[in-house]
Amino acid sequence: MSLLTPEIKSWIGHSEPPITVEVSRREIVKYAVATEQVRQVYLDGDEAPPMFAFGLFRPVVPLDALGPDGLPPMTAMPELPLKRIMAGGTRLTIHRPVRPGQTLVGTRSITDIFEKEGRQGPLIFVVTELGVTTAAGEPVMAETQTRIAR
């Protein structure tokens, strides 16, 4: 018997509201220094390191507001019958570099929800994608993230 009800499965395709951010040279430099980048183009803030946009579209929340997986809660996420959440992996596709002065738009959507039987019982996988574009709609990056509930 599946733990995934039609109501849970109906969340596939739901999106959080788009978030628009302005990228500043100072933010790029701060990130480059904090992550010990060595390429001068990053340290000068002329281009953002590849992982710069990874957290750019996540809300800034107090530590006690983070979920069990260490991430801020998603607003577009169904209530799952399994409560222990683990990170299941991230895949990043970069289409073009992030540069200072750009306006970026990020939209996070649920792309799949499925169930598997693990060695210790059922697992629910929730796959989300963060699509990032320029203000003109040109693709910048796509981050696919999997969360596993057990």
Domain ranges, ordered by start, for the chain: 6-149
pLDDT, one tens digit per residue, over 43-100 is 999 999 988 987 788 777 888 888 776 777 766 788 899 988 888 999 999 999 999 9
Ramachandran category for residue 80: left, alpha or beta (phi over 0 → left; psi -120 to 50 → alpha)? beta
Whole-model pTM: value is 0.82
Q: What percent of the chain has pLDDT over 70?
A: 97
SS3 132: strand
What's the helix, strand, coil split of the chain in %, to 5? 15, 35, 45
Residue 74's pLDDT is 67
Q: Report how far Cα 58 is from the mean position of its chain's Cα atoms.
A: 7
Instruction: Assign domain 6-149 to a CATH class.
Output: alpha beta
Residue 59's pLDDT is 73
Residue 122's pLDDT is 94
Both structure tokens of 5: 């009800």
φ, ψ dihedrals at 53, nearest 5°: -80, -5
φ, ψ dihedrals at 21, nearest 5°: -130, 145
Mean pLDDT score, 103-118: 95
Weakest-pLDDT range from 17-21, 39-43, 76-80: 76-80
CA dist 53 and 39 (Å) reads: 17
**Exposure of 1 in the CB half-sphere (CA atoms within 13 A):** 1
Strands (E), the chain: 19-22, 85-94, 103-118, 121-134, 139-149
pLDDT, one tens digit per residue, over 112-133 is 999 999 898 999 999 999 999 9
Query: Which of 90, 133, 130 has the alpha carbon at shortest distance from 109?
Result: 130
Residue 124 · residue 12 · CB < 8 Å: no
Both structure tokens of 89: 């992996």
Residue 65's pLDDT is 83
